[in-house]
Each structure stands twice: as C-alpha cells, then as structure tokens.
Amino acid sequence: MAQLPPSLWNIPQRFVSITHQLGRSWRRDVIKMTPEQIRATLDGLSRLYPGQFGVTFEQIELAGIPSAKIYCAPGPHRDKHRPDRILMVHGGGFAFGSARTHRALATSLAKNCQADIYIPEYSLAPEKPFPFAINELLACYDEMCEQEGRIWLMGDSAGANLAAALLNEVIEKQGKPPEGLLLLSPWIDLRPSSRSNTASQSFWSPFERLDMLEYATHYLQGHAATDPKASPILASVAEWPPVYLEASKVEYLWHDAEHLAEELGKAEVPFEFRIEPAALHAWQLFPDILPEAKRSIDKMAEFIRHHSR
C-alpha cells in the first residue's frame, strides 16, 4: 500500500483510507446522492474558498455559454496586448463541477503565469449527455480563436477527457491548434476494462470502480465507450502539441495517466509527465492549502512560459 507524504499533515494512513471508504458508502448507499445534489453541495462549499485576492473573476458568455473569465493586472510575464489565454475545462465526472469549484486553481495559475483563464459552464450529464459538452467547448474554442494570441487547453479528471476530445476535434477540422495541452489526473479511458478500472486503486480515493462505471453511464447513455471521442486514449496523439501531464501514483486514475504517457512517448510528442508520489485526487484545487498543489501551479506556469518563447 502506498505511503502518504508529510505534505498531507501526517494524517495516519488508516484514517485516510477508512474515511474515504465511509464517505463513499455514505454518499452512495446511505444518502444516495444524485449528481444534482453533489453538484449543489460542491458549488455551495466552493463559495467558502474564492482563491487569490487581486485576481478578477468575471462572469461572461463565451459562444453563448455562461463562463468565467479570470485575469489579473499586468505583471512581468504578461503581454498586455496579447496575453496568453487558457481554456480550462473543469472536472467533475461529467456531472458536476463548475467555474466556482475551480476558482482557486484558476486564480492561482492566472496570477503565476499572467494568463487570462476562461472556464465554460458546459452542460452536464445526465441532463445533457455525450457529445453535448464537447460541441459546446468546441464553439467556445472557435470563438477564442477569433482573437489573436496564444491559446492553451487545460482540463482535470473528466475535464481532461473533454479537453483531449476537444483537441482531437480541432485537429480533425484543421482548426487553429493550441500552443499546448495541460492534463491533470486525466480520465482518458471510459471503458469498464480500462487500466484504472482493472487496477481499482481506491485506498486513497473518494471514488471507486462502481462510481466510475456509474458516471461513465450518466455521460455516455448508451454510446460506446470504445468511441475515441469518448475515450481519447483510443485516438491518435501524433498531432498533439506539447503536453503537460500530471498525476499521483496513489490516485485511482494513475493508470490512465501512465497509459497516456506511454502513447505520447510512442508518438514522440513533446511532453512532461510530472508525478506526485502520494497526493489525493484533485489536490490541485487547493493551492493555498496543500504544498503539492502549490508545486503543481509553479510547474504548470513554468511549462506555459517555456513553450511561449
């Protein structure tokens, strides 16, 4: 069993494992929380953690989709005429998550790399299943391309799936390619037989195999998980731009990230695979609390600056 690092406040391993087991059982078997209830709970809690001060969080529309624009005053790394822009696709099992749940991550990254960050409030499952979100995100990306300047794609967990699928759509349509792709703990393979589902590494996870199958079902609603548009690991990565990939060795989706790293290496795509030895899934959302999240922000900003030269 993997060891937890000091960065998690030296919480006893058994306590963390039992807490996650109880949390999964309580959420799924006792309360029987629906995606809508989880959505409302997370959005409510996120209001208690607004992120960095001195960073503007503006509600806008992007291609008709309600979105957030996060930006700060010009600094030493910012081109005030053509700032870098990041299209951040939030995670949340395709069924929850929002610009608010990812506000702290976005404000910290915006402040560090002096980029404008856009977070679309794409339609969620089960109300709007595959491929609704991908089509909305493509419209958002196309509108961003109407302005000059570099664009980056970014996503975490299920959002990384959508960001990768969006990139493949842009490549297929021969659109303007992004400068790079940042994928955090990607859920890149929705098949029940995926490496992550086969390993079922859930000691330190708020979700397990049953949750993965449930939320994939909410999203796909009968569509085949073997479609490369649903499981981007099954598509070619040969034309991808430079990739920043990040995952923790103990999280449930570690094997998805490892699989993607193998495919990027085979295709000789420039990529950086940053590994946290024992961080919990979605640690990047708490950059003012977790040291590992602060490390992630620094490395992502460094990757963007390096490839912006």
pLDDT digits (tens, 9 = 90+) for 93-127: 999 999 999 999 999 999 999 999 999 999 999 99
- pLDDT band, residue 255 (cuts 50/70/90): very high
Average pLDDT in the chain = 89
**pLDDT tens profile 190-200:** 999 999 999 99
Give the pLDDT of residue 26. 47
As its CATH architecture, domain 54-73+83-306 has 3-Layer(aba) Sandwich (3.40)
Sequence-distant (≥ 6) Cβ neighbours of residue 28 within 8 angstroms: 210, 211
pLDDT tens per residue across span 204-246: 777 889 889 999 999 999 999 999 999 999 999 999 999 999 9
Give the residue extent of every domain in the chain. Answer: 54-73+83-306
> Is the CB of residue 16 less than 8 Å from the CB of residue 251?
no
Q: What is the pTM of this model?
A: 0.90
| Pairing verdict, β 116-120 and 65-72 | antiparallel
259: pLDDT strictly greater than 70: yes
Q: At a CB cut-off of 8 Å and minimum separation 6, what does 290 contact?
A: 7, 8, 279, 283
